[in-house]
Amino acid sequence: MTTGSLFDSEPSASTQHTTGPRPGAPLAERRRPRTLAEYAGQQHLVGPQGVLRRYLNAGRIPSLILWGPPGVGKTTLAHLMADALQLPFAALSAINAGVKDVREVIEKAKSRRGTLLFIDEIHRFSKSQQDALLGAVEQGVVTLIGATTENPSFEVIPALLSRAQVYVLEGLSKEVLTELVDKALAEDDILKQKKVRVADYNALLTISGGDARKLLNLVEIVVEAGTPDAKTGELVITDEMVQQLAQQHLARYDKGGEMHYDVISAFIKSMRGSDPNAALYWLAVMLEGGEDPKFIARRMLILASEDIGNANPNALILAQSCFQAVTVIGLPESDLILAQTVVYLATSVKSNASYVAINAARALVRQQGVQPVPIPLRNAPTKLMKQLGYGQKYQYSHDYDGNFAAQEFLPEVLSGTVFYNPGNNGSEAKIRERLKGWWGNKYGY
């Protein structure tokens, strides 16, 4: 249910950080940072100007949710913040904690105000479990720190999400990961006794998929299983060696690790590439590996808009129906619904025109800022605004033939700017012709 006991006897619960790892712990645990100074990456959060650093310097933190891929330091960061603030700390894992466990923690926290409650994989909490947290978070009985690999907008109830700040942890850079390997070989009490040199980092970084925990454990596997040179006694880590040993020791599908991201990437690319057979294969890999069907359905929702869009608007409708059905029905029956939707999306005509359009529009807003709204388009709720001409020259489209009146809807400096370029397919070809009939040569359709 918990990480250690619900509460440690001392104010800070992160005793595993101050007393060191247990005997025989894997390398990733032995190398877990004990202080924020040792923490790798996430400088936008914990660096000198980072928002979490500012909170810690002020002596308090709000309830927050840490969102990021596996192995980037979410759990470690929660413990280190508790250490830095010297506050009572409780931890629950959403995998095996229930409403009863949540209420037990809250009851104990009432006698220890300021308690930090860390919930790992909070996206796995049901609505009732999350509801049980609301009152305690709102009243300040606990300060919540949730960790999730899933988008909290989908997995955390709105009422709880509104009471917590969401901070995104980024994937660790190649430089950070390489430094982690070098420091482990130089500083770990066990590894530094061996003569090890890394000739190639690519396989280590690729197979670990940016997961620092998986990377360090892979290094330990390679060092333990590798054969040192008979003459020099030196073990040279090469890409070929890593690939060979990793195939023997690492699981082929880890729904919480690198394979999770590799397989979903292959799945999406197969549908985008219009190959239903490959897409069904990768769907089967995920289902056999115990992947959450809602995660799969959610990614298909995104693909239906990003890669199909208005070339076939029904794709988004079917993908939405699939997500709703999977949510209601669950496995094993959901595999049929997922398979039907996969085949439909893979065999549909494709267009990323809407995806390109919104990215271009947002890039322009970031680059130039927000331009003034044209006077005819402005709202005029007051007498002064009407006197200033707000909305006076606006032409109500339905008053004109064909429900269309040519007028300027963009800011003047952006007149004629094209964001949406319809794709070369039947549905969007009709859209292009319709736009050309309305706008003539203005947008070059």
Residues in the chain: 445
Burial class (CB in 10 A: 0-12, 13-18, 19+), 233: exposed
Structure-model confidence comparison of residues 395 and 129, the more confident one: 395
pLDDT (tens digit, 9 = 90+) per residue, 158-207? 888 888 888 888 878 888 888 888 888 888 888 888 888 888 888 888 77
pLDDT (tens digit, 9 = 90+) per residue, 402-444? 888 888 888 888 888 989 888 888 788 888 888 888 889 888 8
CATH of the domain spanning 174-249: 1.10.8.60
Architecture in CATH for domain 15-168: 3-Layer(aba) Sandwich (3.40)
Contacts of residue 156, defined as CB under 8 A and 6 or more positions apart, other chains included, come to 65, 122, 123, 130, 146, 148, 164
pLDDT (tens digit, 9 = 90+) per residue, 202-215? 888 877 777 788 88
Structure tokens that stand for 41 in this block: 């990456």
Long-range contacts of 31-37 (CB under 8 A, 24+ apart): 31/180, 31/183, 31/184, 31/188, 31/216, 32/76, 33/73, 33/76, 33/80, 35/80, 35/83, 36/80, 36/84
C-alpha–C-alpha distance, residues 324 and 318, integer Å: 10
Residue 420 CB coordination number (10 Å): 18
What are the boundaries of each domain within the chain? 15-168, 174-249, 258-347, 372-439
pTM: 0.52
**Angle, helices 334-347/258-272, rounded to nearest 10 degrees:** 50
C-alpha–C-alpha distance, residues 135 and 143, integer Å: 11
Cross-strand partners of 120:
93, 147
Contacts of residue 51, defined as CB under 8 A and 6 or more positions apart, other chains included, come to 44, 45, 167
C-alpha–C-alpha distance, residues 429 and 422, integer Å: 7
CATH of the domain spanning 258-347: 1.20.272.10
Q: What is the number of H-type helices and E-type strands within the chain?
A: 21, 7
Say yes or no to pLDDT of 7 above 70: no
**Confidence label for 22 from pLDDT (cuts 50, 70 and 90):** low
